[in-house]
Structure 1
């Protein structure tokens, strides 16, 4: 598939919500659920297109780590500021986009250096947090008090193959774990800090059964 270009704009939350109400798909979240899993964005996009609607991706969790437009999405979005501004990627030259979300192409303003710097900073945080989560997940898999671990970066994870072709520069900071004797999943959100320090803190929590 040829690479598709996109326009990056900064719009208000109201402008985005108005566009989403105009015949677009329900937003596709690349990483979602509990236990956490990566969905097949390309497959879900194709399903939306078969129904004659523009495909939308919610990148709130993954940011630019999922090249949604390259995977076929017509629109993708993530938060830009705490004040409610949104970053919106709109695919270039798509007729269904022009019909469904024409307003987004002229709404708000074009993304500038500030937004590009924000994306770069988030990409660095994603990479470091993903590296830490990989270490934490690998540690948990071998822990005697842990029954199951869900993390798309583990080769044993059911969504590993999908995640490998959907996400870039890591598999994200979210690790879900189910302890021996428990039915519910617990979520661990890893940070860009030293992975071994996070493992040490987690070991202490496991001794207390993550209480």
Structure 2
């Protein structure tokens, strides 16, 4: 299939939900589960299309860091600035576009400069929080009180290869960790702040928790 383009629309939540109720798969989330892993958006989209099902991708967490339409989704969406609106990427082209998605090509309004600026701001925050998470995850891997670390940006992570071809500008802010002697996972959500400051706070928490 030729590389597909997309259009970015601003659509009401109700209109998007109505469209997704007609022939779409359950929305794919690129980062899912505990421990966190990266979903194979391309593979899941191809499998759905083989069954005649249109594919939607929920980018609420990752935003433009996942080029879902390029990977095969017919529709991808993320929250807009206004609570009742969504940013919706809709695949366009003469072939290979699900009929269920075509109606969204004219839904709502075309995204403008404010929406593009919002996406750019989110991309900067994603990149910074991903950089911090990479540092935190690498630190935890070497920590004597940590049994396992799950982060798609670690080369040892089972979903690293998928994440490398699915996500852009980093691997996200979510790091899951399991401490020695514990059976459950703990989630760390990193921020765009200084990574070493986050490591220092985490080390203090580990000392307090395990002292």
Structure 1 ranges of 4+ moved more than 3 A? 94-98
8 Å contact from structure 1 (residues 59, 76) kept in 2: yes
- SS of corresponding position for 1:188: strand
Does the CA contact (< 8 Å) of 1:54 and 1:96 recur in 2? no
Query: Once the 2 structures are TM-superposed, how far is the Cα of residue 107 of structure 1 from its aligned partner?
Result: 1.6
Do the aligned residues in 2 keep the contact of 1:45 with 1:73 (CA within 8 Å)?
A: yes
Distance 1:33 1:48, change over 3 A: same
- 1:20-63: CA deviation from partner (whole Å, max 9, x where unpaired): 10001111111110100001111000011011011111111111
Q: Which runs of 5+ in 2 are unaligned?
A: none
**Cα RMSD for the two superposed structures:** 1.6
Tell me, in whole angstroms, the C-alpha distance in 2 between the residues paired with 1:162 and 1:146.
Answer: 25
Aligned to 1:145: 145
1:95 aligned counterpart, secondary structure: coil
Pair 1:106 & 2:89 matched: no
**Structure 1 residues 30 and 97: CA distance shift in structure 2, 3 A:** same
TM-score normalised by length of structure 2: 0.96
Following superposition, the deviation at residue 84 of structure 1 comes to 2.2
* Superposed displacement of residue 209, structure 1: 2.0
Cα deviation, 1:141-165, whole Å, max 9, x if unaligned, reads 0111111000000000000010001
Q: 1:21 to 1:210 in 2, by over 3 A?
A: farther
